[in-house]
């Protein structure tokens, strides 16, 4: 979302409509990030900037080719270095220093890594690889996340001048031939963008190949000559006004659920082209865009954009959710900082005579700025704050008891499931769901004191397992084996665990909240000689429901159908289904989330049951209200602040839905609430075990810790 070509070179013709467009774009972005006004699609400002960059840079290159017959790559990159790097380097270093004071220990390390990527011009690769979803709510967001678009433009600057030089000077393409070649590139990139928005939206959002058509839209206009329909002044005015209106309309109509960029990006892109095409024609968009406030903002929009995001994110990380007045005040603060850096850093460095006279010195200056940013980030990264106290916690172990099983549900003489060894009377236990089978009740009762004691833990122990720093990577083996499919991937994989030759076959079916139980189920399967087959997919519950990431059910539905077809061929002994509670998605209007979940679970169970001897609906794990490792890192001596109440963490209405569906089809439903919570609270550290790796998933260590519960649940379901 970076206006990388803010301002104008002294050699370029100043275009006030471009300056005004920059202002419009940056205001849209600022209001979107600050959650002000109704601009739920203000993120389209990045598309406006991309088109402007493509147009202005290509105009500059075409002018140089026309006057000198060539392009000086060193001089071009030197101009970009003077223009972009001093201000961005200042913001990176300032953000790192402020982050040291305002962020928790884990976030400081993440910020340092983001800063290194920003200085190396690969912030988009970093964000893609760590899986940051720019349009998702409730995610921990980097104060430097907005540097992804600067990386896209810098990658474009590395390639585009050389390509233009090759096509014009060496291939000697005439204007029409050049337009044809660029047009083919435009179509290829757009098709790639549309397809990847469906198949791999993260890649489509962050990567240059899927964004190149936006830059090429401006480039094509520059090659044509900067204006279509040169003599049709009235047409240009009308189309330009429609273009400006379409930009504002998209910012109002789009929201975080809009598949983006994809076809949706065509509206702001072509709108920007239309405004540039209208130019300074009297009565067109220029009437609005030449307004002095917009011209002032446009000239400083690069600095405004750089400063506003760290201010918002750091303040929110330090003080929690901000009210509208505070967010508005921070935006005004970003204007003030931008004005200072514009006059003290940007302009002096950009037009410094010694730097302008020597591309080598300009490039050396740019490299020095990047090195300084990397050095400061490395100092932060290699001098982390403490992530635990000196307190040592007693290792967590579950009390073991002999489970009971009613005679009426004992295994048949031909059953391959070993029976439990003894019988015990079920005691009264804290059980808000009343669904614990006799096998589990004694174990829950025996370990309730451990949970109650854990709710009083105040300090993060030194022997926490996993440590806060290792928590996010404490994943089930299915992640390393790519046996939890990514969004857009629907082909089944051969993912067999436990004892591959086991006589009993268990299938784990669901999303990442099903996959989190894989370590426990796998441990049990190995110990008992059972075969475990895993069919899991990110953001795709086993319940047949639309989700925000798959509103049209063109991804999850395909995968789900394939899983059910495999069950028909396999006829496993047990299918275990579990899943996260999902937000309402397009197509679910008029129904509550619980009704949607009921309908979707009912439909899937009706298809699965004929192909499995037994089906178990395993209730979702208790989910905390906060991202637990980061919450704990923020206050190492106040663990209770990171805990959620039982009702908040377990969603009793959702459990009731699954209970009723299970009863309808005579299958088993077993909640996990009593495994993880007391009557009132759900601890985030039990003994020395860290229970959560983020704001909803349990750690692989916690999953294995809870394996005794899982074993009894599986045994009950298969009898």
Q: Where are the alpha helices (DSSP H) in 122-226?
A: 123-130, 147-165, 175-199, 201-206, 208-224
Asked if pLDDT for residue 348 goes beyond 50, the answer is yes
> Beta strands 644-645 and 484-485: pairing type?
unpaired
DSSP secondary structure, 623-667, as one string: --SS-HHHHHHH-TT-GGGG-EEHHHHH-HHHHHHHHHHHHHHT-
Asked if pLDDT for residue 50 goes beyond 80, the answer is yes
Q: What is the pLDDT of residue 293?
A: 96
Helix axes 175-199, 208-224, angle to 10 degrees: 150
Asked if pLDDT for residue 358 goes beyond 50, the answer is yes
Average pLDDT for 150-175: 94
Q: Which residues of 75-107 are buried (b: 16+ CB within 10 A; e: fewer)?
A: bbbbbbbbbbbbbbbbbbbbbbebbbebbbbbb
**With bands split at pLDDT 50, 70 and 90, how would you rate the model's confidence at 428?**
very low
Question: Apex CA 427: angle with CA 423 and CA 431, to 5°?
Answer: 120
> Beta strands 496-498 and 530-537: pairing type?
antiparallel
Q: Can you read off the two tokens belonging to residue 443?
A: 């174990």
Q: Can you read off the two tokens belonging to residue 321?
A: 């959710």
**Least confident range of 128-142, 263-277, 369-383, 669-683:** 128-142
Sign of the Cα torsion 172, 177, 183, 188 reads: negative
CATH architecture, range 470-636+647-672+690-717: 3-Layer(aba) Sandwich (3.40)
Rounded CA-CA distance 403/401 in Å is 6
Distances, alpha carbon 490 to alpha carbons 536, 551, 718, in Å? 10, 15, 29
Asked if pLDDT for residue 553 goes beyond 90, the answer is no
Considering only the C-alpha atoms of the chain, give the largest distance between any 2 of them, rounded to a whole number of Å.
94
The residue assigned the tokens 């690969």 is 122
Q: What is the pLDDT of residues 313-342, one digit of tens each?
A: 999 999 989 999 999 999 999 999 999 999
Residue with more model confidence, 297 or 131: 297
How many whole angstroms from its chain centre is CA 101?
25
Asked if pLDDT for residue 606 goes beyond 60, the answer is yes
Rounded CA-CA distance 253/251 in Å is 6
CA end-to-end distance (rounded Å), the chain:
57
**Least confident range of 148-162, 341-355, 383-397, 401-415:** 401-415
Q: What is the pLDDT of residues 608-627, one digit of tens each?
A: 999 999 999 999 999 998 99
**With bands split at pLDDT 50, 70 and 90, how would you rate the model's confidence at 438?**
confident
* Three-state secondary-structure class, residue 133: coil
Asked if pLDDT for residue 414 goes beyond 70, the answer is no
Q: What is the pLDDT of residue 227?
A: 61
Q: Are 507 and 515 in contact (CB under 8 A)?
A: no
Q: Can you read off the two tokens belonging to residue 70?
A: 């060539």
CA dihedral defined by 129, 133, 138, 141, rounded to 10 degrees?
A: 60
Rounded CA-CA distance 578/519 in Å is 14
**With bands split at pLDDT 50, 70 and 90, how would you rate the model's confidence at 86?**
very high
> Beta strands 644-645 and 681-682: pairing type?
antiparallel
**With bands split at pLDDT 50, 70 and 90, how would you rate the model's confidence at 432?**
very low
Phi-psi region of 666 (alpha: psi -120 to 50; beta: other; left: phi over 0): left
Rounded CA-CA distance 613/660 in Å is 20
Q: Can you read off the two tokens belonging to residue 648?
A: 């908040």
Q: What is the pLDDT of residue 416?
A: 43
- Give, for 498, the enclosing helix (H) or strand (E): strand 496-498
Rounded CA-CA distance 32/21 in Å is 17
Asked if pLDDT for residue 64 goes beyond 80, the answer is yes
Residue with more model confidence, 427 or 99: 99
**With bands split at pLDDT 50, 70 and 90, how would you rate the model's confidence at 402?**
low
Average pLDDT for 538-564: 87
Distances, alpha carbon 84 to alpha carbons 71, 77, 305, in Å? 20, 10, 12
> pLDDT above 70 covers what percent of the chain?
91
DSSP secondary structure, 543-563, as one string: S---BTTBTT-SSHHHHHHHH
Q: What is the pLDDT of residue 375?
A: 98
List all residues 6 or more positions away from 353 whose beta carbon is below 8 Å from its beta carbon: none
Q: Are 639 and 457 in contact (CB under 8 A)?
A: yes
Residue with more model confidence, 412 or 254: 254
Q: What is the pLDDT of residue 555?
A: 85
Q: What is the pLDDT of residue 489?
A: 85
The residue assigned the tokens 């130019």 is 279
Count helices and strands (H / E) in the chain: 30, 11
**With bands split at pLDDT 50, 70 and 90, how would you rate the model's confidence at 542?**
very high
Rounded CA-CA distance 154/526 in Å is 51
Start-end of CATH 3.40.50.1110 domains in the chain: 470-636+647-672+690-717
**With bands split at pLDDT 50, 70 and 90, how would you rate the model's confidence at 135?**
very low
**With bands split at pLDDT 50, 70 and 90, how would you rate the model's confidence at 15?**
confident
Q: Are 577 and 283 in contact (CB under 8 A)?
A: no
* Three-state secondary-structure class, residue 342: helix
**With bands split at pLDDT 50, 70 and 90, how would you rate the model's confidence at 286?**
confident
Q: What is the pLDDT of residue 6?
A: 34
Q: What is the pLDDT of residue 434?
A: 57
How many whole angstroms from its chain centre is CA 389?
31
Q: What is the pLDDT of residue 141?
A: 85
Q: What is the pLDDT of residue 403?
A: 47
pTM of the model: 0.86
Rounded CA-CA distance 219/53 in Å is 8
Q: What is the pLDDT of residue 400?
A: 78
- Give, for 310, the enclosing helix (H) or strand (E): helix 301-319
Residue with more model confidence, 409 or 46: 46
Average pLDDT for 52-76: 94
Rounded CA-CA distance 303/15 in Å is 19
Of 696, 613, 610, 618, nearest to 658 by C-alpha is: 618
DSSP secondary structure, 10-23, as one string: TTSPP-HHHHHHHH
Counted residue by residue, the chain has a size of: 719
Asked if pLDDT for residue 257 goes beyond 50, the answer is yes
Q: Are 92 and 118 in contact (CB under 8 A)?
A: yes
Q: What is the pLDDT of residue 427?
A: 38
Asked if pLDDT for residue 406 goes beyond 80, the answer is no
Q: Can you read off the two tokens belonging to residue 224?
A: 């044509």
Please, what is the average pLDDT of the chain? 90
**With bands split at pLDDT 50, 70 and 90, how would you rate the model's confidence at 517?**
very high
How many whole angstroms from its chain centre is CA 613?
38
Average pLDDT for 380-385: 94
Of 153, 110, 145, 156, nearest to 306 by C-alpha is: 145
Rounded CA-CA distance 327/185 in Å is 41
Q: What is the pLDDT of residue 585?
A: 76
């Amino acid at each position: 979302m970076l206006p990388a070509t803010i301002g104008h070179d002294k050699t370029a013709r100043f275009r006030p409509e471009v300056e005004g467009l920059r202002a419009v774009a940056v205001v849209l972005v600022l209001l979107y990030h600050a959650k002000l006004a109704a601009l739920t699609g203000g993120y389209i400002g990045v598309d406006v900037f991309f088109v402007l960059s493509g147009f202005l840079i290509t105009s500059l290159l075409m002018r140089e080719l026309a006057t000198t017959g060539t392009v000086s790559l060193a001089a071009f990159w030197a101009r970009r270095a003077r223009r972009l790097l001093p201000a961005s380097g200042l913001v990176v270093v300032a953000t790192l220093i402020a982050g040291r004071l305002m962020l928790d220990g884990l976030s400081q390390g993440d910020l340092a890594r983001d800063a290194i990527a920003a200085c190396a011009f690969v912030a988009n690769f970093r964000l893609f690889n760590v899986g940051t979803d720019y349009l998702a709510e409730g995610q921990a967001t980097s104060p430097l996340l907005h540097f992804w678009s600067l990386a896209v433009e810098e990658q474009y600057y590395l390639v585009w001048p050389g390509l233009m030089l090759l096509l014009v000077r060496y291939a000697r393409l005439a204007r029409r031939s050049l337009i044809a070649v660029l047009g083919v590139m435009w179509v290829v990139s757009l098709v790639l963008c549309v397809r990847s928005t469906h198949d791999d939206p993260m890649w489509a959002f962050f990567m240059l190949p899927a964004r190149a058509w936006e830059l090429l839209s401006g480039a094509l206009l520059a090659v044509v000559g900067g204006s279509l329909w040169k003599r049709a002044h009235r047409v240009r005015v009308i189309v330009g006004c429609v273009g400006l209106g379409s930009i504002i309309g998209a910012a109002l109509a789009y929201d975080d659920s809009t598949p983006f960029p994809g076809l949706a990006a065509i509206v702001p892109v072509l709108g920007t082209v239309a405004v540039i095409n209208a130019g300074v024609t009297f009565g067109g968009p220029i009437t609005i865009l030449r307004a002095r406030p917009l011209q002032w903002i446009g000239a400083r929009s690069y600095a405004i954009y750089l400063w506003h995001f760290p201010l918002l994110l750091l303040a929110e990380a330090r003080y929690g959710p901000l009210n509208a007045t505070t967010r508005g005040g921070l935006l005004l603060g970003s204007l003030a900082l931008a004005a200072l850096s514009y006059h003290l850093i940007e302009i002096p460095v950009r037009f410094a005579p010694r730097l302008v006279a020597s591309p080598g010195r300009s490039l050396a200056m740019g490299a020095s700025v990047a090195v300084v940013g990397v050095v400061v980030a490395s100092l932060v990264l290699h001098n982390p704050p403490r992530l635990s106290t000196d307190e040592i916690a007693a290792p967590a172990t579950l009390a073991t008891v002999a489970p009971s099983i009613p005679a009426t549900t004992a295994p048949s003489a031909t059953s391959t499931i070993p029976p439990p060894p003894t019988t015990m009377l079920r005691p009264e236990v804290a059980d808000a769901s009343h669904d614990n089978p006799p096998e589990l009740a004694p174990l829950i009762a025996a370990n309730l004191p451990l949970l109650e004691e854990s709710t009083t833990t105040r300090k993060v122990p030194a022997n926490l397992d996993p440590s806060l720093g290792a928590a996010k990577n404490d994943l089930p083996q299915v992640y390393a084996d790519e046996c939890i499919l990514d969004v857009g991937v629907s082909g089944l994989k051969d993912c067999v665990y436990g004892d591959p030759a086991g006589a009993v076959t268990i299938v784990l079916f669901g999303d990442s909240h099903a996959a989190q139980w894989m370590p426990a189920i796998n441990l049990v399967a190995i110990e008992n000689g059972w075969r475990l087959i895993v069919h899991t997919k990110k953001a795709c519950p086993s319940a047949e429901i639309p989700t925000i990431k798959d509103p049209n059910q063109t991804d999850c539905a395909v995968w789900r159908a394939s899983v059910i077809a495999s069950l028909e061929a396999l006829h496993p002994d047990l299918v275990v289904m579990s899943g996260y509670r999902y937000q309402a998605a397009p197509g679910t209007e008029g129904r509550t989330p619980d009704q949607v979940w009921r309908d979707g679970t009912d439909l899937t169970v009706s298809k699965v049951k004929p192909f499995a001897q037994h089906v178990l609906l395993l209730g979702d794990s208790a989910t905390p209200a906060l991202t637990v490792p980061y919450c704990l890192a923020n206050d190492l001596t106040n663990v209770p602040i990171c805990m959620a109440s039982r009702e908040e963490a377990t969603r009793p209405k959702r459990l009731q839905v699954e209970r009723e569906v299970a009863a309808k089809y005579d299958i088993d439903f077993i909640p996990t609430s009593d495994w993880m919570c007391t009557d009132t609270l759900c601890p985030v550290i039990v003994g020395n075990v860290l229970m959560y790796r983020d704001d909803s998933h349990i750690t692989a260590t916690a999953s294995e810790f809870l394996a005794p519960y899982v074993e009894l649940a599986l045994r009950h379901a298969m009898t």
